[in-house]
Structure 1
C-alpha cells in the first residue's frame, strides 16, 4: 500500500478528512480511502496526483502530492 499512486477525489487538507482513489494491485482495481496530509501544508484539490506515505487499516491513508 505504501508507495501506491492515487488521485484526490475529495479535498484533502488541514482539518479535513479527504478521500483518495488508490490503485490496489492485489484486488485488481481502484478503491477509495479516507485521506490525511502526511506533511502539513496547503490543501490538495480534487484531481491532484498523490502517493501513499502511510497506511492505517482498514481504510485510512496519509498522502503527499506528487511533485512535477
Structure 2
C-alpha cells in the first residue's frame, strides 16, 4: 500500500477526514485520508502518494507531484 498513487476524492487537510481513491487488487477502493505533513491541504482531484497505511482503511498521503 505504501508508495501507491491515488487521487483525492474528498479534501484532505487540517481538521478534515478526507478521502482518496487508490487502485488495489485490480480495482479501485476508497480510504480515509489524512495529510502526512501537518497543515497541508490537498484539494479534490490532486494526485497523491500513500506514505503510511493503518489498517483497515486509513492512509496518510502527500502530493505526488510538486506542480513545477
Q: Please, what TM-score do these two structures have when normalized by structure 2? A: 0.92
Residue by residue over 1:18-54, the C-alpha shift from the partner in whole angstroms, topping out at 9 and shown as x without a partner, is 0000011xx2111000000001233111000000000
State TM-score, norm by structure 1: 0.92
Greater helix content: 1
Aligned length: 66
Deviating beyond 4 angstroms after TM superposition, the runs of 4 or more aligned structure 1 residues are: none
Q: Which runs of 5+ in 2 are unaligned?
A: none
Aligned-residue CA RMSD in angstroms? Answer: 0.9
Query: Where does structure 1 lack aligned partners over 5 or more consecutive residues?
Result: none
